[in-house]
Amino acid sequence: MAWTRQEMANRAAQELQDGYYVNLGIGIPTLVANYIPDGVDVTLQSENGMLGMGPFPYEDEADPDLINAGKQTITELNRTSYFSSADSFSMIRGGHIDLSILGAMQVSQEGDLANWMIPGKMVKGMGGAMDLVAGVKKVVVIMDHNARDGSAKFLKKCTLPLTGVKVVDMIISDVGVFVIEENGPILIELAPEITINDVKERTEADFLVDKGLL
Amino acid sequence: MAWTRQEMANRAAQELQDGYYVNLGIGIPTLVANYIPDGVDVTLQSENGMLGMGPFPYEDEADPDLINAGKQTITELNRTSYFSSADSFSMIRGGHIDLSILGAMQVSQEGDLANWMIPGKMVKGMGGAMDLVAGVKKVVVIMDHNARDGSAKFLKKCTLPLTGVKVVDMIISDVGVFVIEENGPILIELAPEITINDVKERTEADFLVDKGLL
Amino acid sequence: MNKLYTDAEAALEGILFDGMTIMAGGFGLCGIPENLIAALKKSGIKDITAISNNAGVDDFGLGLLLQTRQIKKMISSYVGENKEFERQYLAKELDLEFNPQGTLAERIRAGGAGIPGFYTKTGVGTLIAEGKEHKDFNGETYIMETGLKADVSLVKAWKGDTEGNLIYRKTARNFNPMMATAGTITVAEVEEIVEPGELDADNIHTPGIFVQRLIKSHGLEKRIEQLTTRPRQEG
Amino acid sequence: MNKLYTDAEAALEGILFDGMTIMAGGFGLCGIPENLIAALKKSGIKDITAISNNAGVDDFGLGLLLQTRQIKKMISSYVGENKEFERQYLAKELDLEFNPQGTLAERIRAGGAGIPGFYTKTGVGTLIAEGKEHKDFNGETYIMETGLKADVSLVKAWKGDTEGNLIYRKTARNFNPMMATAGTITVAEVEEIVEPGELDADNIHTPGIFVQRLIKSHGLEKRIEQLTTRPRQEG
């Protein structure tokens, strides 16, 4: 039984460590904030210029001057600081953020990521994604394992324009979890009732399987 | 009769225009602040991180957290802002300061400046001088026209290590005022009782003489 | 020096021309100079190269200048919220240069700071790197990006004094401080104008040296793009 | 995460080693981390490469570490106030790399911001440019300077909260904010430590992400290098 979006977010939250500074992308990654383990204190960065992002506001508290990188209204915490976009990306590019969790259209077995453009269709822009994958210490992708038409998204090589080369450290999909190491991906966890063969059939990338799953 | 230090500072102050942002070097340039013409409002920048430098404090007001680039205690004004050294030199390097007035050991007829090092003797360092002459829109040098041993300081070529190449726009010395233009220096003013011949004898650089002095 | 102008039109008087490059602060619709954009629209100048992280929405922000076809080229990181933009771009009526957001922010800072080029890892191996100089530092490959300047920068601040010192509020700061440094002329639109001395000198985000003209904002809409709330717990 | 340590010695425990690179904030004796420098002296580590705009005076600031010969190399812009420095340098007991002050500040910012190299006009045609890559932009020549990082950065702030958010006071800010970003580990010495929420989020100069350890300053001397005053007008 494949993981739901909530279960993927919950699994991703297990990568958080106490004291981490974390940037969460738009979509499923945003849900990770709901599953932060007890006793783990993380600080969320929003690349539009905020460290210490709080929850969504109550309706009467929404402030047009206080939004996240997805343009959603949010709130501040008592630890919050604000800064310019240049300072924000100095933080990101300079390797000060511990973990970035973001979505993907495609990931290659070498850790290349494509998540910003489909040629011929409208190009919305990469926003801060290229900076995040280039600068953040650890990059975790959360994605559906296959596209809506069933085609593989975890590939030998990405066919879409890249966001970054050899940048993805971990993939959490609805069928399982891969870590991408120097000599290739390793499947380290399976969703309930999903078999290694299921994963192989739904994956184009070559990968090893962790001993614990054999 | 050669100009005194005060008279040189007073002459330099005539280069100030209303609304100018100005950086004054250590020594005679500091005195320029005492001669700002009536009706001319200038803002003084101190490269250690302050815009809007006020006068020296009364003795009981000296604050160790408030100094100028010469490490002297100073005061703030109601327009003052503070910033980091990186932001301060972004302001300088980015061409936002209108005028820099500083001292010199040597100036060449092409506008090269030497004012930071005498090889073999102790090297104190260039501090912010190289950044200032490279970045500020207009650079005015105030200096004694000759060294203590009588040797020329306004030369065909500097013999000391340079602070900047083709950076000086004007020299105010005790004998007169030169502007340095694309095709060479022009003597535009003389101190009282100083003749063009006096200046020629005391100068190694080639220079033209402004029509008004002939 | 009086930097305070009566309104946005007066503040833009004499500094606009066809084909000019304009930076406009803001992230989405947060922290945009609403009055100045309206005056820019009214000016009717054409062929603008606009540098701004986003392109507004169809009927607000820089979207207003897309409606009137005043913009020839956009330099942005994300334009996903604007349908008119999409239409003009696909019809090749509009040039577009995408920059990664951090690269865009740093290029603007560099432009204001007298730095004509710098190296970054961002975009190495992607379309963004094509045609750019590559250089290795400590065994890693970086690409060179160049500084960006504008003829005029339009920024939005929360408080400002008549010397041009500015303070921004919360995430409305975003691109405004760097853009203020990168305009040959910077015009600031400010919610509250105070006398010099009323702002704490340690808290000023943009020193007055960067601001040549300023106005007080009138009738700000401050539109929220994605109102997202949580319910109050039942008591 | 508890970032607050009991004192300077505790805050430096386990992060010092011979031959390390240390950045220390301050301009002259203004805004220097007095307690941390004292603890560094006490640690006895040797062969330090010290990055700091100045070298203190003979008996204060980084001068204390020159007395004990703990510094092998200085990267500075001006060291004119230190006679012991002069003696050691002329006796070739000390390496020295001069950087123009703005170049030094920008190199440190670049180090913290993931920028391995940038171009500047500063120093073109001087000794500083020798051996450096030259490149023309728009017909003008620039030289490439590289980013600087440190194993440990020691900074001094005025106020800080237990999350590591820092605020500096007046010109004591100087090199401290950039150095805070450029240390693998940054230790901040703070005059007043407050609880999170007591500092205004819009006024924080150094976000807590850059600060790994902090202490409250004790017994600060805050020595004035050049006390310069004017007389009160006779009444």
For residue range D92-131, list pLDDT tens digits in order: 899 999 999 999 999 999 999 999 999 999 999 999 999 9
Average pLDDT over residues A160-189: 97
How far apart CA C97 and CA C2 sit, in angstroms, is 37
- With pLDDT > 90 as the criterion, what percentage of chain A qualifies? 95
For residue A86, the model assigns a pLDDT of 98
Chain B nearest C-alpha distance from C89 (Å): 34
Contact D180, D186 (CB under 8 A): yes
Query: Chain C interface, mutation test: which of D103, D119, D145, most C Cβ atoms within 10 Å?
Result: D119
Phi-psi category of residue D31: left, alpha or beta, with phi > 0 → left and psi -120 to 50 → alpha: left
The model's pTM: 0.98
Q: Which amino acid is at A8?
A: M
Contact A114, A166 (CB under 8 A): no
Contact B133, B100 (CB under 8 A): yes
How far apart CA D4 and CA D164 sit, in angstroms, is 8
Give chain B's length.
Answer: 214
Report pLDDT digits (tens) over A125-142. Answer: 999 999 999 999 999 999
pLDDT band at C234 (very low <50, low <70, confident <90, very high): low
Residue C29 has pLDDT above 60, yes or no: yes
Q: Of D116, D168, D200, which is closest to C119 when you measure between CB atoms? A: D116
CB distance C108–A125 less than 8 Å?
Answer: no
How far apart CA C176 and CA C53 sit, in angstroms, is 10
Q: Of B18, B81, B94, which is closest to C113 when you measure between CB atoms? A: B94
For residue C91, the model assigns a pLDDT of 87
How far apart CA A95 and CA A7 sit, in angstroms, is 28
Residue C225 has pLDDT above 80, yes or no: yes
Chain D nearest C-alpha distance from B198 (Å): 32
Average pLDDT over residues A56-78: 96
For residue C235, the model assigns a pLDDT of 53
Q: What sign has the CA pseudo-torsion A111, A115, A117, A121? A: positive
Nearest 5 degrees, angle CA D2-CA D8-CA D14?
70
CB distance D169–C202 less than 8 Å?
Answer: yes
For residue D214, the model assigns a pLDDT of 98
A–B touching, 3+ CB–CB pairs within 8 Å: no
Chain D nearest C-alpha distance from A75 (Å): 12
For residue B122, the model assigns a pLDDT of 67
Q: Of D197, D204, D209, which is closest to A21 when you measure between CB atoms? A: D209
CB contacts under 8 A, C 184-223 vs A, are 205, 222-223
Average pLDDT over residues C155-173: 98
DSSP helix/strand/coil, D101 = helix
Query: Looking only at Cα atoms, what is the longest distance across chain B?
Result: 54
Phi-psi category of residue A95: left, alpha or beta, with phi > 0 → left and psi -120 to 50 → alpha: left
List, in order of start, the domains of chain B with CATH numbers: 5-213 (3.40.1080.10)
Core vs surface per residue A193-211: b (16+ CB within 10 A) or e: ebeeebbeebbebebebee
DSSP helix/strand/coil, D120 = strand
DSSP code of residue C113: T
Dihedral Cα D57, D62, D68, D70, nearest 10 deg:
-150
- Reported as type and span, the H/E element at residue D24 is strand D21-24
Q: Which amino acid is at D163?
A: E
Q: Of D53, D125, D177, which is closest to B165 when you measure between CB atoms? A: D125
How far apart CA C109 and CA C104 sit, in angstroms, is 9
How far apart CA D172 and CA D29 sit, in angstroms, is 9
Q: Cα C34 vs. chain centroid, distance in angstroms? A: 12
Count of B-C CB contacts under 8 Å: 61
Least confident of B76-90, B138-152, D16-30, D75-89: D75-89
How far apart CA D209 and CA A96 sit, in angstroms, is 7
For residue D89, the model assigns a pLDDT of 87
How far apart CA D22 and CA D106 sit, in angstroms, is 17
Structure tokens at C176: 């405004």
Three-class secondary structure assignment of A1-60:
CCCCHHHHHHHHHCCCCCCCEEEECCCHHHHHHHHCCCCCCCEEEECCCEEEECCCCCHH
For residue D81, the model assigns a pLDDT of 82
pLDDT band at A29 (very low <50, low <70, confident <90, very high): very high
For residue B47, the model assigns a pLDDT of 98
Active site (annotated) includes residue A201: no
Core vs surface per residue B160-178: b (16+ CB within 10 A) or e: bbbbbbebbbbbbbbbbbb
Beta-carbon contacts of residue A95 (< 8 Å; ≥ 6 apart): A135, A136, A137, D114
How far apart CA D49 and CA D160 sit, in angstroms, is 27
Phi–psi pair at D179, nearest 5 degrees: -60, -35
Residue C7 CB-density burial (10 A; 0-12 exposed, 13-18 middle, 19+ buried): middle
For residue A149, the model assigns a pLDDT of 95
Q: Does ipTM surpass 0.90 in this model? A: yes
Count of A-D CB contacts under 8 Å: 61
CB distance D170–C114 less than 8 Å?
Answer: no
For residue C85, the model assigns a pLDDT of 85
Q: Which amino acid is at B173?
A: S
For residue A51, the model assigns a pLDDT of 98
Show residues of chain B in contact with C163, CB under 8 Å.
Answer: 43, 52, 79
Residue C83 has pLDDT above 90, yes or no: no
For residue C192, the model assigns a pLDDT of 98
Q: Across the strands, what pairs with D51? A: D23, D75
Residue that the structure tokens 């975009």 belong to: C123
pLDDT in tens, chain B (214 residues): 899 999 999 999 999 999 999 999 998 999 999 999 999 999 999 999 999 999 999 999 999 999 999 999 999 999 999 999 999 999 999 999 999 999 999 999 999 999 999 887 767 899 999 999 999 999 999 999 999 999 999 999 999 999 999 999 999 999 999 999 999 999 999 999 999 999 999 999 999 999 999 8
Nearest 5 degrees, angle CA D140-CA D142-CA D144?
160
Contact B136, B99 (CB under 8 A): yes
Strands (E), D52-204: 71-76, 95-98, 117-120, 134-137, 140-146, 150-161, 166-167, 183-194
Q: Which of B16, B13, B20, B75 is nearest to B50 (CA)?
A: B75
CB contacts under 8 A, C 115-134 vs A, are 120-128
For residue D212, the model assigns a pLDDT of 98
List, in order of start, the domains of chain D with CATH numbers: 17-98+149-216 (3.40.1080.10)
In B, minimum Cα distance to C202 occurs at: B82
Report pLDDT digits (tens) over C105-159. Answer: 999 999 999 999 999 999 999 999 999 999 999 999 999 999 999 999 999 999 9
Structure tokens at D6: 């009991």
Contact C169, A65 (CB under 8 A): yes
DSSP code of residue D4: B
Show residues of chain C in contact with A45, CB under 8 Å.
Answer: none
Residue D234 has pLDDT above 80, yes or no: no
Strands (E), B85-131: 99-102, 106-108, 113-114
Among the listed residues B7, B15, B47, B204, the single catalytic one is B47
Helix, strand, coil shares, percent, chain A, to 5 = 20, 30, 50
Average pLDDT over residues D8-14: 98
B8, B192, D178 from B199: Cα distances, Å: 16, 12, 48
Q: Are strands B138-143 and B99-102 parallel, antiparallel or unpaired?
A: parallel
Sheet holding A154-155, edge to edge: A113-114, A106-108, A154-155
Chain D nearest C-alpha distance from B75 (Å): 10
pLDDT band at D235 (very low <50, low <70, confident <90, very high): low
How far apart CA A178 and CA C24 sit, in angstroms, is 42
Phi–psi pair at C211, nearest 5 degrees: -115, 120
Strands (E), A103-150: 106-108, 113-114, 138-143
Average pLDDT over residues D162-166: 98
Q: Of C161, C196, C210, which is closest to B96 when you measure between CB atoms? A: C210
| HSE toward the beta carbon, residue D35, CA cutoff 13 A | 23
Residue C168 CB-density burial (10 A; 0-12 exposed, 13-18 middle, 19+ buried): buried
Structure tokens at B77: 């004004």
CB distance C100–A112 less than 8 Å?
Answer: no
How far apart CA D157 and CA B17 sit, in angstroms, is 37
Dihedral Cα C162, C164, C167, C172, nearest 10 deg:
110
Chain B nearest C-alpha distance from D63 (Å): 15
CB distance A84–C90 less than 8 Å?
Answer: no
Q: Which of A90, D176, B134, A97 is nearest to C110 (CA)?
A: A90
Core vs surface per residue D63-96: b (16+ CB within 10 A) or e: bbbbeeebbeebbbbbbebbebbbebbeeeebee
Q: Which of C196, C202, C210 is nearest to C160 (CA)?
A: C196
CB distance D202–C203 less than 8 Å?
Answer: yes
- Please, which chains are in contact with C (at least 3 CB pairs closer than 8 A)? A, B, D
Q: Which of A164, A159, A160, A161 is nearest to A180 (CA)?
A: A164
A157, B56, C53, D93 from A152: Cα distances, Å: 11, 72, 33, 64
Show residues of chain A in contact with D118, CB under 8 Å.
Answer: none
The rounded mean pLDDT for chain C is 96
Average pLDDT over residues D173-190: 98
Residue C86 has pLDDT above 90, yes or no: no
CB distance B56–D228 less than 8 Å?
Answer: yes
Residue C138 CB-density burial (10 A; 0-12 exposed, 13-18 middle, 19+ buried): exposed
